[in-house]
């Protein structure tokens, strides 16, 4: 198995999250409220919880 440093995981997760927030935010395009950011953050938290508690 490949050894991965925690900093690499955080950086990769941050990069993926930033790209998702950008693309979802530009697709939703709501004035005044960052609905794309909220959506990606909630889904990302849910996926992180699944991965954490699934033991992956």
- pTM of the model as a whole: 0.74
33 vs 4 pLDDT, higher one: 33
Q: Token pair of 2, please?
A: 């490949």
| 1 within some domain | no
DSSP string, 26-37: HHH--SSS-HHH
Indicate whether 31 belongs to any domain. Answer: yes
Q: Is residue 28 part of a domain?
A: yes
Containing domain of residue 16, as a range?
Answer: 6-54
5-56 tens-digit pLDDT: 888 888 998 999 999 999 998 888 778 888 888 999 999 999 888 988 887 5
Residue 4 dihedral angles phi and psi, to the nearest 5°: -120, 130
**What is the structure's pLDDT at 5?**
83
Query: Is 50 inside a domain boundary?
Result: yes
- Which tokens belong to 38? 């909220």
How many domains does the chain divide into? 1
**52 token code pair:** 């954490």
Residue 16, pLDDT score: 92
pLDDT at 8: 87
Tokens at 55, concatenated:
């033991």
Cα radius of gyration rounded to whole Å, the chain: 14
């Amino acid at each position: 198995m490949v050894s991965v440093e925690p900093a690499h995981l955080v950086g990769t997760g941050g990069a993926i999250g930033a790209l998702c927030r950008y693309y979802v935010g530009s697709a939703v395009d709501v004035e005044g409220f960052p609905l794309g950011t909220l959506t990606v953050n909630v889904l990302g938290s849910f996926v992180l919880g699944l991965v954490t508690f699934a033991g992956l």
